[in-house]
Structure 1
Amino acid sequence: MKRFKFVFILANLVLISTSIFAQKESFREYGGVVLEEGSNKPLALATLSVENTNTSTITNTDGEFSLKVPLTTKNAQVVVSFLGYETKTVPLTSLKNKENKIYLTVAVTQLAPVDINAPKNVERLVWEVFSKKGEKYFDKPTIMTAFYRETIKKRRKNVSLSEAVVTIYKSPYEADRKDAMKIYKARKSTDYSKLDTVALKLQGGPFNTLYVDLIRYPQYVFSENAMNEYDFKFNGTTYIDNKLIYIVDFNQLATITSPLYKGKLFIDATNKTLTSAIYQLNITDRNLAAKLFVRRKPANVDVWPTEVAYRVDYREQNGKWYFGYSNILMEFKVDWKGKLFNSVYSMAAEMAITDWENNTDGANLKNREKLKSSIILADEADGFSDPDFWGAYNIIEPEKSIENAIKKIQRQLKREERKGA
């Protein structure tokens, strides 16, 4: 089975894991939080889309959002949706600039003793979803604007933060040609003093999250040969955007010893389209799992993954679905022989599509513009000195720990500027 790899390189005490859209000058920004009705529980990764436009964003892990809308967009509706909840439409004119609270109600599914909505053949349903991607998903070249963020932590301490706005030249879903990307803006900060003798970097940057698009790149999880190595089971129904969704559990067969995946597929019951997937690597053998990620390392160091988890969400526009959001969480242990304690590192990367348009002119990137899949974003990006760095571009609102890290970085930069003056 061909696999997509996140590569780590460990050498010399350094650990390394392997726009077309014009800047909008006039916009209004709306901020707030999306909560569950009744419990006030924050809803992470809820989608907010401006109706009849391609502008969207998502909430962070605290349920907070920031939505930037051009001043030319007036009297619009903001559609707020989240898996398992009733979709809500909010007039843009009713939103304030800050401290908006949007409540979503849990969607209740009334089931008979025997679920009459259950698909008769679950494995065939999954096969149909992946075999008909050319019919259900974007069938024309598209240029997308996306916000990407990656963080690295040593235990609970933020060590590295990199962010970028990227332009994606996305091929039709049925095409063989791979997607291409270029960076529009990027910024980073790394506090190597927290890394002891090990510097950790994520190689691949935005490609890590782009390749989580299961429909565009099924070969990394569900290749034709690997499909027979999984067991698929129906696990009830839910709703998203007021549509009935099948929940399908999958796991590798007990007879398969190599590390494959387990998780959940959320499939539109009417259109047979994948709307979301949450899955993780089965770490059946830590040495086999390490081979998927570790390229080289010193002889006195062991590195292995303890968790590798993925998520991808799709959005619908005019009857066609497209890649909207993905994230990755990886946790690794670094064990130095002769030391009493090992180190635990976690890396998170996420990408959200915030705008898109059809590539009607057939524009393509020149080779010198293309982002290389081996990129280390932390080595390419600028600093955090400009608080208005992103301008009109929609981003994922930083969670509290990231927000505090950014503020700390900016304070350090100001102190350094005063010293140098």
Structure 2
Amino acid sequence: MNSLQLTFNLKHYLALIILITCSISFGQNVTEFKGIVLDKDTNSPLALADLIITNSNVSTIANSDGEFLLKVPENLLQNTVTISYLGYQKLEVALSNFKPTDTKIYLQQAATVLAAIDIVAPKDAKELVEKALALKGENYATETVFMTGFYRETIKKRNRNASLSEAIVSIDKSSYKSSKNDQITLIKARKNTDYSRLDTIALKIQGGPYSSLHTDIIKYPEYIFNDETLSDYTFTFGRSTQVDNQLVYVVNFKQKENVYRPLYYGTLYIDANNYALTSAVYKLNVENQVEATKLFVRKKPRKANVYPTEASYKVNYRTKNGKWYFAYSNILISFKVNWDNRWFNSRYTLQSEMAITDWNINKDLLTNKQTKKLKANSILQDQVSGFSDPDFWGEYNIIEPEKSIETAIKKIKRQVEKN
């Protein structure tokens, strides 16, 4: 899985990932709404809840604290917003009910009628997964779709933020019937790194934004469920749930006990009506440290022992006009670096998020002399330097950042201003 491998060098060089989303028409006045999405019964925040302006492609995703920042073009202020979250009833709220700050959205858990589920549920979980993969031509886009996304990547040493990069990207998402790979064009990017928090070891995520696209199990099944590995997994049904008030089958999977190479385990959510994969949450089995390390570490200093401690992935799809589209990706990779000549180890966490918010973008409007098409092995950090153009980023900072990230940006910017 080369696109997710880590390369180590003896340089002050480091790339990380945490992503988020945006979508706004260029040149339009926008109105901001801030708030939080909560469980109606427990009042607990719902992390990564979806908010979509109806009859448009403008959307956003709540952060890990359930907080959201929604920027609405002037011509859409009379619309409603659809708020959805796995296992909860979909809710529509008029934008006239949103406040500039402190908007509270409460979602009610969906009650699933288990008796009805038992009647129609397939009997073989593996066959259901195979059917979902086979129906990609019917359920997903059959033409190239032009998408826009807001991408953020971050790295932490222990619990402290050390690097932050952000980018606006344009994606040529090829047909799910085609074997052609997706293409990414870099529209705008910025980054900052606090090198005082980093060792001289250099960390890179091969592929950069492309790694996010590769979590699309339907488009790139070879990374998890190819013809050779599908039989190495055990598939079982979990308790069915609902997404956007539609019945969804829950399929759990893990590698068989007699398979020793690192494979994945997690949960697939499959629409009961058309058998489309609506989302997936999965992890790499890193118990076999030697073999797991080979998947990520291509090169390292001689005196360093490097191994992953966690590799987690999440992908969401969104439906429109009867077709499903790649909408959101989250990758989190944690690993330890043990040095022969040091008492204490170093712990790093690399996280990336990509959120898609515009599917019908005017490609010619974005693709100009300042854009740059990324290669499949491009690393975002290699393409950008410094925070700049605050007017542009003020318009495109769509998702409310986590407080830790927001604080990290301020500290890094202050340090840059001193130099």
Note the alpha carbon deviations across 1:194-233, whole angstroms, 9 max, x for none. 1133343433221111111111111100111211111100
Check conservation: 1:46, 1:82, Cα contact below 8 A.
Answer: yes
Greater CA drift, 194-203 or 279-288: 194-203
Q: In the TM superposition, what are the counterparts of 1:98-137 in structure 2 within 5 Å? A: 98-112=101-115, 115-137=118-140
SS at match of 2:27: coil
Greater CA drift, 403-412 or 249-258: 403-412
Check conservation: 1:24, 1:70, Cα contact below 8 A.
Answer: no
CA distance in 2: counterparts of 1:48 and 1:105, whole angstroms: 15
Match of 2:5 in 1: 7
Deviation at 1:392, TM superposition (A): 3.2
- Which sections of structure 2, spanning at least 5 residues, go unmatched? 17-22
CA distance in 1: counterparts of 2:338 and 2:195, whole angstroms: 19
Amino acid in structure 2 at the alignment position of 1:110: V
CA distance in 2: counterparts of 1:249 and 1:365, whole angstroms: 45
Match of 1:338 in 2: 341
SS at match of 1:127: helix
Q: In the TM superposition, what are the counterparts of 1:170-185 in structure 2 within 5 Å? A: 170-185=173-188
Amino acid in structure 2 at the alignment position of 1:327: N
CA distance in 1: counterparts of 2:149 and 2:363, whole angstroms: 19
Check conservation: 2:3, 2:207, Cα contact below 8 A.
Answer: no
The answer to whether residue 393 in structure 2 is matched with residue 393 in structure 1 is: no
Aligned pair partner of 1:354 in 347, 357, 360? 357
Deviation at 1:382, TM superposition (A): 3.5
Q: TM-score, normalized by length of structure 2?
A: 0.92
Match of 1:60 in 2: 63
Amino acid in structure 1 at the alignment position of 2:5: V
SS at match of 1:295: coil
Check conservation: 1:24, 1:392, Cα contact below 8 A.
Answer: no
Match of 1:286 in 2: 289
CA distance in 1: counterparts of 2:274 and 2:24, whole angstroms: 31
Match of 2:271 in 1: 268
CA distance in 1: counterparts of 2:390 and 2:362, whole angstroms: 32
The answer to whether residue 94 in structure 2 is matched with residue 91 in structure 1 is: yes
Deviation at 1:94, TM superposition (A): 1.4
Deviation at 1:22, TM superposition (A): 5.8
Deviation at 1:175, TM superposition (A): 0.7
The answer to whether residue 68 in structure 2 is matched with residue 70 in structure 1 is: no
Note the alpha carbon deviations across 1:344-402, whole angstroms, 9 max, x for none. 100000000011117899x9999x94202222222322423555442433633210100
Match of 1:322 in 2: 325
CA distance in 2: counterparts of 1:141 and 1:114, whole angstroms: 35
CA distance in 2: counterparts of 1:180 and 1:392, whole angstroms: 25
The answer to whether residue 149 in structure 2 is matched with residue 146 in structure 1 is: yes
Check conservation: 1:141, 1:360, Cα contact below 8 A.
Answer: no
Match of 2:20 in 1: none
Amino acid in structure 2 at the alignment position of 1:250: F
Aligned pair partner of 1:380 in 368, 380, 383? 383
- Which sections of structure 1, spanning at least 5 residues, go unmatched? 417-421
Aligned pair partner of 2:168 in 165, 175, 182? 165
Match of 2:309 in 1: 306
Change in CA separation of 1:406 and 1:11 when aligned onto 2, cut-off 3 Å: closer
Match of 2:261 in 1: 258
Q: In the TM superposition, what are the counterparts of 1:201-220 in structure 2 within 5 Å? A: 201-220=204-223
Match of 1:419 in 2: none
What percentage of aligned pairs have identical amino acids?
Answer: 50
RMSD, matched Cα: 2.5
SS at match of 1:392: helix
Match of 1:248 in 2: 251
Greater CA drift, 258-267 or 9-18: 9-18
Note the alpha carbon deviations across 1:399-421, whole angstroms, 9 max, x for none. 010011112233334455xxxxx
Deviation at 1:11, TM superposition (A): 3.1
SS at match of 1:32: strand
Greater CA drift, 195-204 or 337-346: 195-204
SS at match of 2:239: strand
Change in CA separation of 1:59 and 1:360 when aligned onto 2, cut-off 3 Å: closer
Amino acid in structure 2 at the alignment position of 1:214: I
CA distance in 1: counterparts of 2:2 and 2:130, whole angstroms: 21
Change in CA separation of 1:272 and 1:309 when aligned onto 2, cut-off 3 Å: same
Q: How many residues align?
A: 412
Change in CA separation of 1:97 and 1:375 when aligned onto 2, cut-off 3 Å: same
Note the alpha carbon deviations across 1:146-182, whole angstroms, 9 max, x for none. 0111110001010111111100011111111110011
Deviation at 1:10, TM superposition (A): 2.2
Note the alpha carbon deviations across 1:101-128, whole angstroms, 9 max, x for none. 1111111223249933432121111001
Note the alpha carbon deviations across 1:21-66, whole angstroms, 9 max, x for none. 8623311121111111132211111000011111111000011111
SS at match of 1:72: helix
SS at match of 2:69: strand
Change in CA separation of 1:110 and 1:386 when aligned onto 2, cut-off 3 Å: same
CA distance in 1: counterparts of 2:278 and 2:95, whole angstroms: 26
CA distance in 2: counterparts of 1:364 and 1:402, whole angstroms: 30
Note the alpha carbon deviations across 1:302-333, whole angstroms, 9 max, x for none. 11111000000000001100000010000011
Check conservation: 2:194, 2:412, Cα contact below 8 A.
Answer: no
Match of 1:36 in 2: 39
The structure where helix makes up a greater share of residues is 2
CA distance in 2: counterparts of 1:380 and 1:398, whole angstroms: 23
